[in-house]
Chain A
């Protein structure tokens, strides 16, 4: 039973009218068919029932009907009050709704226990169907919008599931992770090991640097001390000679003066070269079978050989002899594969250093240019002695060649020319003072100043490493410079040794910085380990891989699929099919929609018979029945189409009790309405329907019970 009453006050400008249910009885059976003319109140009744059942918040109700419902309560020209009671087929009250105040918008809906029911609670328990089946063919298509909602719901729920999984993954990763703890422990171990190796490396490097420094500083301090003494002696000798000559200054020609200065320069050059190569020759020939010949070389005096070349020829013969020996050794070294490798590496480094700032990766090696240079440098270190030795030999060979050439030039060219000038011009062209002694002294004093500077540098360097007195230096010299421990270092020239010291200092600085970096990494890892160990494990820890690699991926794929299905559904709703990229998947989807629609409709009436559809193909606009009949949707009688649609709506199977309100079923004849009546009765008898109201436009008012 439906018992109702309402008051509707409407401002019609000239008068305020009050409408009450005067035409339609205020007590109606649960299943009722109402006919009547416009304005008799049949649609108002449906709108009030819908409003009472939270119809304003029901998304399934068409906008046109929503508008009508809203208009009842939310317009400034009319006010409404109502009460409705709905009882079940046993006469028990099931729903009570009221709006007592014309102005107040509050509507209260109560259940059998007089308990207020919220919209959510109502929608969980009841399915309010309020519809106007205007165009049956189009309305059949609207069933598809249900599919759209199902799709959206599924996609939404999958999205929630994905977010939840991501949250769990995040929580697991933030929780105590034994694998991460092990990994941090391994990292700590690796850093400690690397640090230990670095410290060892630094110790070795520091020790070696100390050796090289002490060797270099003592060796070259003594060397420059000797050279200083030698030059000082030479200056003294010249001054002594000058004193012997008295104050008489010989007059010579300008040409002779220039030539004499040139001759003295050349002799000085030979002497310098001689003193330059002698320590290197000493390294090679001071022991073994060449010892005696080296002693001859070591004791020769360059100026005496120039003064008496017929008598003294040690410079010439021993110089040539040692040069030949060294050349042979040099070319033998050149054949050594290690040396070749070192030379090639050196050339590559020289070329690449021009591009070391570029971020280019070396193919195959897959390292940056600067890293590649570092690797080559490390390799080069293995052959460092070999390269230094070879370069040294080359330098001694070149210097010996220059000595021999200059000796020949002095003896065969300069000395005879000067003698000739003296003889020819002695008394005739002598116009300037012979100041070549002063010239020599000045030149030697310059050289002396330079040597003293270098000696001072090495003296300071010795003090810096803790060797402070001359006596200490001289005491250490035999063991440090001549001793076996530093034998390899004698192969190096002064600038090479200084370069090596510089490189080693750089290397040490780099390694020390590396140790500091390791310390800081270890500190960070130690804190991280403490932090990780303080955490509690996550209950799903063991399932991390399943959640991350399997489940999350599966759900993402499902979401993508739902999204694609949504686009297919949209094509069905709009009756516009995008044939580009037509796929098997889309055909399969439409086929499943056709089957679903057929099941939703249940039965259809066509001409005189009822059919059970197998598929309703909305693309082909054809209904395929189980009995094998094909019916074009356009051929369906309008009333039959409405019937199929309404039965479809009533066929929703979600265990909720239906409240069915159908307005203006105008095109349906009694044959088309019968299956709808039957469906309503079936649902009502099975307690799946609370009320069913069908209204129809007619000339006169007629209210009849269905069934």
Chain B
């Protein structure tokens, strides 16, 4: 468990959806709310384009 954060893994394991896990990761990476939203919008756009 050298690189992984135990607590992140623990909280992340409580959620199933990909977006939920990403949100938890961003929170534990201590990203600002603004950056988290930007990232999530970017991802959603990508997903929509792929669809």
Q: Given A161-B33, A565-B14, are A154 and B40 neighbors across the interface (CB < 8 Å)?
A: no
Cβ B36 vs Cβ A154 within 8 A: no
Q: A125 in the interface, Cβ–Cβ < 8 Å?
A: no
Closest CB in chain B relative to A127 CB, distance in Å: 13
List the B side residues contacting A222 at CB < 8 Å.
none
Closest CB in chain B relative to A379 CB, distance in Å: 51
List the A side residues contacting B5 at CB < 8 Å.
653-654
Contact of B40 among A150, A551, A558 (CB under 8 A): A551
- A37–B24 Cα distance when bound, in Å, is 49
Count residues of A near B (Cβ-Cβ below 8 Å).
34
Cβ B36 vs Cβ A546 within 8 A: no
- A153–B34 Cα distance when bound, in Å, is 18
- Determine the residue in chain A with the shortest Cβ distance to B7: A150
Contact of A154 among B2, B11, B44, B45 (CB under 8 A): B11
**Interface residues in B1-35 (C-beta closer than 8 Å to A):** 1-2, 4-7, 9-11, 13-15, 17, 19-20, 23-24, 27, 33-34
Q: Given A157-B27, A158-B27, A550-B44, are A168 and B6 neighbors across the interface (CB < 8 Å)?
A: no
Q: A561 in the interface, Cβ–Cβ < 8 Å?
A: yes
- Determine the residue in chain A with the shortest Cβ distance to B10: A596
Cβ A558 vs Cβ B23 within 8 A: yes
Closest CB in chain B relative to A146 CB, distance in Å: 8
Q: A262 in the interface, Cβ–Cβ < 8 Å?
A: no
- Determine the residue in chain B with the shortest Cβ distance to A163: B33
Cβ B23 vs Cβ A599 within 8 A: no
- A550–B33 Cα distance when bound, in Å, is 17
**Interface residues in A644-697 (C-beta closer than 8 Å to B):** 651-654
Cβ B6 vs Cβ A554 within 8 A: no
- A554–B43 Cα distance when bound, in Å, is 15
Cβ B6 vs Cβ A653 within 8 A: yes
Closest CB in chain A relative to B43 CB, distance in Å: 10
List the B side residues contacting A154 at CB < 8 Å.
11, 24, 27
Cβ A543 vs Cβ B1 within 8 A: no
List the A side residues contacting B44 at CB < 8 Å.
543, 546, 550-551
List the B side residues contacting A600 at CB < 8 Å.
6
Q: Given A154-B24, A555-B23, A592-B14, are A164 and B6 neighbors across the interface (CB < 8 Å)?
A: no
Cβ B14 vs Cβ A599 within 8 A: no
- A151–B12 Cα distance when bound, in Å, is 11
Cβ B17 vs Cβ A554 within 8 A: yes
Closest CB in chain A relative to B44 CB, distance in Å: 5
- A150–B15 Cα distance when bound, in Å, is 14
Cβ B6 vs Cβ A599 within 8 A: yes
Closest CB in chain A relative to B25 CB, distance in Å: 11
List the B side residues contacting A158 at CB < 8 Å.
23, 27
- A165–B44 Cα distance when bound, in Å, is 15
Q: A160 in the interface, Cβ–Cβ < 8 Å?
A: yes
Cβ B10 vs Cβ A150 within 8 A: yes
- A218–B45 Cα distance when bound, in Å, is 77
- A164–B32 Cα distance when bound, in Å, is 10
- A70–B41 Cα distance when bound, in Å, is 48
Cβ A554 vs Cβ B10 within 8 A: no
- A608–B24 Cα distance when bound, in Å, is 41
- A652–B14 Cα distance when bound, in Å, is 20
Q: A589 in the interface, Cβ–Cβ < 8 Å?
A: yes
- Determine the residue in chain A with the shortest Cβ distance to B33: A164
Residue with the greatest number of chain A CB neighbours at <10 A, chosen from B4, B5, B6, B36: B6
List the B side residues contacting A555 at CB < 8 Å.
23
Closest CB in chain B relative to A583 CB, distance in Å: 14
Contact of B20 among A165, A554, A589 (CB under 8 A): A554
Cβ A168 vs Cβ B37 within 8 A: yes
List the A side residues contacting B24 at CB < 8 Å.
154
Q: A540 in the interface, Cβ–Cβ < 8 Å?
A: yes
Cβ A164 vs Cβ B37 within 8 A: yes
Q: Given A546-B41, A599-B1, are A161 and B10 neighbors across the interface (CB < 8 Å)?
A: no
Q: A181 in the interface, Cβ–Cβ < 8 Å?
A: no
Q: Given A164-B33, A653-B5, are A147 and B41 neighbors across the interface (CB < 8 Å)?
A: no
Q: Given A543-B41, A550-B44, are A147 and B10 neighbors across the interface (CB < 8 Å)?
A: yes
Cβ B34 vs Cβ A164 within 8 A: yes
- A466–B23 Cα distance when bound, in Å, is 81
List the B side residues contacting A546 at CB < 8 Å.
41, 44
- A171–B3 Cα distance when bound, in Å, is 39
Closest CB in chain A relative to B40 CB, distance in Å: 6
Cβ B23 vs Cβ A165 within 8 A: no
**Interface residues in A542-589 (C-beta closer than 8 Å to B):** 543, 546-547, 550-551, 554-555, 558, 561, 565, 589
List the B side residues contacting A551 at CB < 8 Å.
19, 37, 40, 44
List the A side residues contacting B17 at CB < 8 Å.
554
- A600–B12 Cα distance when bound, in Å, is 16
List the B side residues contacting A561 at CB < 8 Å.
14-15
Binding site for B on A (CB under 8 A): 146-147, 150-151, 154, 157-158, 160-161, 164-165, 168, 540, 543, 546-547, 550-551, 554-555, 558, 561, 565, 589, 592-593, 595-596, 599-600, 651-654
Q: Which 3 A-B pairs have the closest CB atoms?
A: A164-B33, A596-B10, A157-B27
Binding site for A on B (CB under 8 A): 1-2, 4-7, 9-11, 13-15, 17, 19-20, 23-24, 27, 33-34, 36-37, 40-41, 44-45
Given contacts A551-B19, A551-B37, 10 further A-B contacts (CB under 8 A): A164-B34, A165-B37, A547-B41, A550-B44, A554-B17, A554-B19, A558-B15, A596-B7, A600-B6, A653-B4
Task: Pull 6 A–B residue pairs with CB atoms less than 8 Å apart, ordered by A.
Answer: A154-B11, A547-B37, A551-B44, A554-B17, A592-B10, A653-B2
